[in-house]
Homo-oligomer: A and B are copies of this chain.
Amino acid sequence: MANQKLKIGIVGGTGYTGVELLRLLAMHSNAELTAITSRGEAGLPVADMFPSLRGFVDLAFADPATADLSSCDVVFFATPHGVAMSQAQALLKANVKIIDLAADFRLQDAAVFEKWYKLPHSCPDVLNMAVYGIPELNREQIKTAKVIGNPGCYPTTVILGLAPLLEAGLIDFSAPIIADAKSGVSGAGRKAEVANLFAESSDNMKAYGVSGHRHHPEILAQLTHLAGANIDFIFIPHLIPMIRGMLSTIYVKLTDVGQATDLQALYEKRYLNEQFVDVLAAGNMPETRSVRGSNQLRIALQKQADTGYLTVVAVQDNLVKGAAGQAIQNMNIMFGLDEYSGLQVLPLLP
C-alpha cells in the first residue's frame, strides 16, 4: 500500500476546512488531488485564492456541474450542510467513498437532524450506513465504512475528553455534564459577516449559541451512546480572539467509585496507543498553541476534591483534529494506509 496514490476530490474548497485539507493533503505521500470544486470560483487557480499554497497546489477550482468526481477514490465535502446528502447516492453508485465535514451524516436520528438543521434529510438510507468518524472510538467500523460523518469540532473535544470515564461508568448522572467550550474565530468559517471582522472580534470575547447550539444534540447523542443511559448535558460555547484553537472545560460529577479511582492512570492507559490523543502528566494544563496546526488533542484532569467533581480540559486545533485532520485520519483508516500518514506535522509554536 505504501506507494498507493488515492485519487481525491474536494467539493467546496474555498472555506477554512477546504484550505486545511489542501495543506495537509499536499504533504501526504499517498494522496493525489484530482479535483476541487467551487460554484463561485470555477476557473480560478486555487493558489490565487490561497497564496500559501503557491508551489504546492497547481489545480484550479472546477465547476461542480462538470467536475469528474466519479473517478475519485474518495470525495471530501467541505461544504455547507445539505450538500453532501444531495450527491451521496450518485457517488456511492460510482464506488466513491465519502467523508462529509458538514453535519449531514453526523446525527443518526434524521428527525434530530431536521430539527436542528431545518432541512429534510434526503437520504436516510445512506445515513444509516454512515459511520461517525472518531477513530479512537469507532476505528473498526471506519475501516469498512463507505460514508463518514466527520465529527464537529466541539464534539471531538468533549467526546474524547469523557470517553474513558463513560466507558468505565464513573460519572454520576444525577448532575448534568457541563461543557464550557471556547473556540478560535476560524470556527465561524470564511464568511463575510460583520460579527467576525477583526475590529469586532479582536480584543473581545463572548458566549454564543447559549439557547441552543447544533453541536449539543451531536455531543449528547454520542455521550448517551457511550453512557448507555440518559444524561443531562449543558453546553455553552464561547468565541475567543485567536485564529485557531479550541479548549473545552468539562465538569462532571463522579460516582463514589470514580472518586476512588486513579483517573490519571485510567486516561493514560485508555489512550496509550493513540498517537493523536495525548494525556498530560498530572498537574499540567494544555495550551491551545501546543497543538496549533497539528492533529493532536491534549487532555488534562483535575479533581475538585471537596465536591466530588472532576474537571477535564481538552484542547485541539479546531481545523485539524476538529475537522480536516480527523477527516484525513479517517481516510487513512478507510483505505488501509498508515493512520498517521500525512499527519506527522508538528505544531507551530510560537
| Chain A residues proximal to chain B, CB less than 8 Å | 16, 19, 23, 26-27, 50-56, 175-176, 178, 180, 182, 184-186, 188, 190-194, 196-208, 210-211, 232, 234, 236, 238, 240-245, 247, 249, 251, 253, 275, 278, 280, 283-294, 296, 298, 302, 304, 306-307, 309, 311, 313, 315, 319, 344-350
Q: Is the CB of B51 within 8 A of A205?
A: no
Q: Is the CB of A275 within 8 A of B55?
A: yes
CA distance A191 to B283 in the complex (A): 24
A254: shortest Cβ distance to chain B, in Å?
12
Partner of A198 from B19, B185, B211 at Cβ < 8 Å: B185
* 7 residue pairs bridging A and B, Cβ less than 8 Å apart: A16-B199, A27-B345, A178-B309, A180-B251, A182-B240, A204-B242, A206-B247
Shortest Cβ distance from A313 into B: residue: B207
CA distance A304 to B200 in the complex (A): 28
Q: Which residues of B contact A290 (CB under 8 A)?
A: 51-52, 54
Partner of A23 from B27, B185, B192, B348 at Cβ < 8 Å: B348
A210: shortest Cβ distance to chain B, in Å?
4
Q: Is the CB of A289 within 8 A of B346?
A: no
Known: A52-B289, A205-B247, A211-B302. 18 other contacts (CB 8 A): A51-B287, A52-B291, A54-B278, A55-B275, A56-B346, A175-B253, A176-B309, A180-B180, A180-B249, A186-B199, A190-B199, A196-B198, A198-B241, A199-B350, A203-B292, A204-B245, A205-B287, A234-B251
CA distance A294 to B51 in the complex (A): 12
CA distance A199 to B187 in the complex (A): 9
Q: Which residues of B contact A242 (CB under 8 A)?
A: 202-205, 241
Q: Is the CB of B298 within 8 A of A51?
A: yes
A333: shortest Cβ distance to chain B, in Å?
19
Q: Is the CB of B249 within 8 A of A236?
A: yes
Partner of A350 from B244, B285, B288, B311 at Cβ < 8 Å: B244
Q: Is the CB of A313 within 8 A of B185?
A: no
Partner of A307 from B202, B232, B284 at Cβ < 8 Å: B232
Shortest Cβ distance from A200 into B: residue: B350
Q: Which of A26, A247, A251, A304 has the most CB of B within 10 A?
A: A304
Q: Which residues of B contact A51 (CB under 8 A)?
A: 280, 284, 286-287, 290, 298
A44: shortest Cβ distance to chain B, in Å?
13
CA distance A198 to B196 in the complex (A): 6
CA distance A210 to B280 in the complex (A): 14
Shortest Cβ distance from A53 into B: residue: B346
A297: shortest Cβ distance to chain B, in Å?
12
Q: Is the CB of B199 within 8 A of A197?
A: no
CA distance A27 to B313 in the complex (A): 28
Q: Is the CB of A241 within 8 A of B307?
A: no
Shortest Cβ distance from A176 into B: residue: B307
* A-B residue pairs, 7 tightest by C-beta: A52-B347, A52-B349, A180-B180, A204-B289, A51-B290, A192-B192, A185-B198
A191: shortest Cβ distance to chain B, in Å?
8
A259: shortest Cβ distance to chain B, in Å?
14
